[in-house]
Copies of this chain bind each other. A is one copy, B any other.
Amino acid sequence: MNTGDWLKEVVPDDAQTEANRKTAGHVMRLVSKEAGKYPDVVGVELGGSYAKGTWLAGETDIDVFVKFGRGVPDERFRRVSREIGFDSMVDYNPGERYADHPYVEAAVDGTVVNVVPCYDVELGEWKSAADRSPHHTRLMRERLTENQRNDVRLLKRFLKVRGIYGAQIAVQGFSGYAAEVIILHFGGFEGAVREMANIKLGATIGKSARKFDTPVAIMDPIDENRNLAAAISNRNMGLFVLGCRELAYNPEASPFDARSSASSVGWDNVAVVKFGRGDENSEIIWGQARRAASAMARQMELGGFTIIRHKVLVDDERVCLLFLTESVRIPERVVRVGPDVLRQADAAKFAESEGMVWVSPEMRLLRVEKRAHHTAGALLRHILRDPGRAGIPAGLHHHIRRGASVTVGGRIAQSIKEEAAELVSADEAVFYAARRAGE
């Protein structure tokens, strides 16, 4: 692997580094000044990829953590951190954002700045979701070598190009911290790629207190009960492994090129469900929409359709659930193969259901049933009439009841087709990588 050449693309140059250093110092002063007004605050420190030296060239975020004493009540924790964030960033267009709890985002000299509250606690005594971050920062600062920091950058770019970087639910990919853990564990980018190319089902990266049900577990080095891969979809883990195989076995492969696929099944066999949304937190809507898509895909499979993939699009106004099927139209009748006639109790049970029964040439009972719905559109409309029964999260029911549309094949809007183009494109890298890996 030409890791040396590749690194040049991802390591920030001196001018960038110097500019970031200045911005970070400026922000720290502003936040510290405001934080000093509150006795609840026990410290302010830089965190995230900037503090760990693993940020990607041209894509710096500066995270400032405001640390509270562990006795501060939740309500005050939220209110004070909000005041510190808005007051310190008053000149930089501050706004409230939400992860597990609210934080303040601003833009300083073109750099995104996040002012994030957390509790100052010992390992394992977590009170809020961000409490681990200062510990993560300390660990990576201490343990990552200079070369490894750059290898983290390369890995992040590799993930980003493949659309699998980011732990947010809209992506369900690898967090920056997961990338750092992978590099730390395998010692570098090349080692990580070669090992991940050959990783076995059920493998655990790091030290784990128990067994996790993800195909591969990525353990948080500061918490042997926390599996970072829990936030990564299985599909994305699969794409990562295939990407690693490609890079490991194809001398012409590049971490910066995910080979956009020329193969596509086209939109004929896609069904789209669209409905409006409210002003709920986007992370929440994304989570609900993903669960809805999974639940509806399961119902469609039960109804006789084969779902190749499903995908969710969420913007400020609407939610789209996209289903790529083997076919949006299936035969009207379905044959259920029952037991051998001579298996008497089973045969009696089988004959209880509605439908015409035949005796097959092999002496089995066959029931011919008329499907309730033989087009994906009809089945989806049916599912949407009773969203609870299908397992669609309750938070979406009123949006769906206010009006959900179902569109199939050629009638899908061009804008959706453009936004979700990857849905219908084959995962091309699979071919080369999967083939070579077996040689």
Q: Name, among A239, A333, A359, A437, the residue most crowded by chain B CB atoms within 10 Å (CB to CB).
A: A359
The answer to whether the Cβ of A15 comes within 8 Å of any Cβ in the partner chain is no
A427 within 8 A of B: yes
**Complex interface: chain B residues within 8 A of A329 (CB):** 331
Asked if B234 and A431 sit within 8 Å, CB to CB, the answer is no
A357 at the binding interface (Cβ < 8 Å): yes
Q: Are B342 and A215 in contact (CB under 8 A)?
A: yes
Query: Contact between A430 and B357 (Cβ–Cβ < 8 Å)?
Result: yes
User: Chain B: which residue is nearest A324 at the CB level?
Assistant: B358
Contact of A200 among B238, B332, B342 (CB under 8 A): B342
A234 proximity list for chain B (CB < 8 A)? 361-363
- Which of A17-25, A86-94, A343-351 lies at the binding interface? A343-351
Number of interface residues of A (CB under 8 A): 69
A372 close to B (CB within 8 Å): no
Q: How far is the CA of A242 from the CA of B347 in the complex (A)?
A: 10
Q: Label chain A's interface by main secondary structure.
A: mixed
The copy count of this chain in the complex is 2
A133 at the interface (CB under 8 A from B): no
Check A363 against B326 for contact (C-beta < 8 Å): no
Name which residue of chain B comes closest to A216, CB basis: B342
Please state if B334 and A326 are interface contacts (CB–CB under 8 Å): yes
Q: Judge whether A351 and B426 touch: CB under 8 Å.
A: no
- Check B361 against A233 for contact (C-beta < 8 Å): yes
Interface flag for A118 (CB, 8 Å): no
Q: A343 touches which one: B201, B235, B263, B332 (CB < 8 A)?
A: B201
CA distance A345 to B201 in the complex (A): 12
Q: Which 10 residue pairs are nearest across A and B when measured between Cβ atoms?
A: A348-B438, A327-B331, A356-B426, A351-B434, A234-B363, A238-B341, A238-B363, A201-B342, A238-B359, A357-B430
